[in-house]
Amino acid sequence: MNHANIKTITRFLFLSAIFVFISGCSTTYYAAMEKIGKEKRHILIDNVEDVQESQEKAQEEFKDALTKIKELYAFDGGNLETFYNNLKNSYEDCDSRANQIEKRINNVEQVAKDLFEEWETEITQINDVKLKNSSKQSLRDAKIKYQKLEKIMNKSTKGMYPVLVKLKDYVLYLKHNLNAKAVGSLSSEVVSIEKDVARLIKDMNVSIKEAQKFIKNF
């Protein structure tokens, strides 16, 4: 069974087992995954890939929102209602993606916590001193790699919210003031949000690259 098929099955089983996570009984979920050869390590990697995928999509959606704003400021006659609706849709896409990313990072953090706890417990069951010490070192190395990734992912996630706040402000302002004068009054904000989006995309690129590195070396 190839990786793509296993991941599809994993997603299906994950959705089927959501109620298990809600009740805090993740053991059942992990047991189901183990039956198809998916240990916590594999689940963690899949979840990191999910975050990476969402961040790549988020980059495009935030770029699209910025493009809509620039188009609006270049407005020279036409239907302002259409411009407003386009910006509103872009904002909603970005907001929805931000929520998805946060949920996926929460999944990563939970699985990592469970994986490391299991690892520590299993080390105590190793009798050979040399093997035990080697496993302890592997655990320390894994934690360092993960903690670096977690920090970078969370930093890029936090960077989304100032941009979302500004986008929401623009959307609501235009909703209340659909006229050329209102558009002109917002023109000074273009440079500010452009810098915010550029910074966000840069942080997401760092996070995506760190995820790739983690997946490769973990």
Regions of the chain with pLDDT less than 50:
15-23
Q: Containing domain of residue 126, as a range?
A: 39-217
Domains: count for the chain:
1
What integer pLDDT is reported at residue 25 of this predicted model? 57
Measured distance CA(135)–CA(141) in Å, rounded: 10
What integer pLDDT is reported at residue 77 of this predicted model? 63
User: Within a domain: residue 31?
Assistant: no
User: Within a domain: residue 157?
Assistant: yes
User: Within a domain: residue 106?
Assistant: yes
What integer pLDDT is reported at residue 177 of this predicted model? 84
User: Within a domain: residue 158?
Assistant: yes
User: Within a domain: residue 151?
Assistant: yes
User: Within a domain: residue 4?
Assistant: no
User: Within a domain: residue 206?
Assistant: yes
In three-state form (DSSP H/G/I as H, E/B as E, the rest C), the secondary structure along the chain is CCHHHHHHHHHHHHHHCHHHHHCCCHHHHHHHHHHCCCCHHHHHHHHHHHHHHHHHHHHHHHHHHHHHHHHHHCCCCCCHHHHHHHHHHHHHHHHHHHHHHHHHHHHHHHHHHHHHHHHHHHHCCCCCHHHHHHHHHHHHHHHHHHHHHHHHHHHHHHCHHHHHHHHHHHHHHHHHCCCHHHHHHCHHHHHHHHHHHHHHHHHHHHHHHHHHHHHHHC
The structure tokens 């050329």 sit at 180
What integer pLDDT is reported at residue 9 of this predicted model? 56
Render pLDDT for 120-174 as a digit per residue (tens, 0 to 9): 999 999 999 999 999 999 999 999 999 999 999 999 999 999 999 999 998 998 8
What integer pLDDT is reported at residue 126 of this predicted model? 97
User: Within a domain: residue 24?
Assistant: no
The CATH code of the domain that includes 147 is 1.20.120
